[in-house]
Amino acid sequence: MPSVTKNVGIRGVEPPTTICDDTKCPWHGSVRVRGIILRGKVVKAKMKNTVVVERDYLYYDKKYMRYEKRRSRIHAHNPPCVSAKEGDEVIIGETRPLSKTVHFVVIGVVKRAKED
């Protein structure tokens, strides 16, 4: 396992300061980020090394010629070096299938949630 942080290739995302030994980590493991990059909010972080990210987007309805709000929930792998919590705003990237429902990985945290 390499102890160096590799370049993921996404602009505006800083590499984590801690080093992990997770093989599914985009920074320290063998998983490559390819495909789409999304931004969303972590709504659940109860699974081991997996979070549920919710993203809101606008869908254009051609029949009524207006936009409607929609949202989708995406399961993403959460490496120990990133360690996103509930309420955090994160950037996720598409990878190869990591499990039955996980095809994305958390690349970095944009904004941490306020802890009360």
Say whether pLDDT at 5 is over 90.
no
Give tens-digit pLDDT for 39-75.
999 999 999 999 999 999 999 999 999 999 999 999 9
| Model pTM score | 0.88
Domain borders along the chain are 37-111
pLDDT for res 116:
57
Say whether pLDDT at 109 is over 60.
yes
pLDDT for res 98:
95
pLDDT for res 7:
74
Contact predicate 16/49, CB 8 Å: no
pLDDT for res 102:
97
Nearest alpha-carbon partner for 26 in 3, 52, 1, 8:
8
Nearest alpha-carbon partner for 78 in 29, 113, 5:
29
Architecture of the domain defined by 37-111: Beta Barrel (2.40)
Sequence-distant (6+) residues with CB within 8 A of 59 are 67, 68, 69, 70
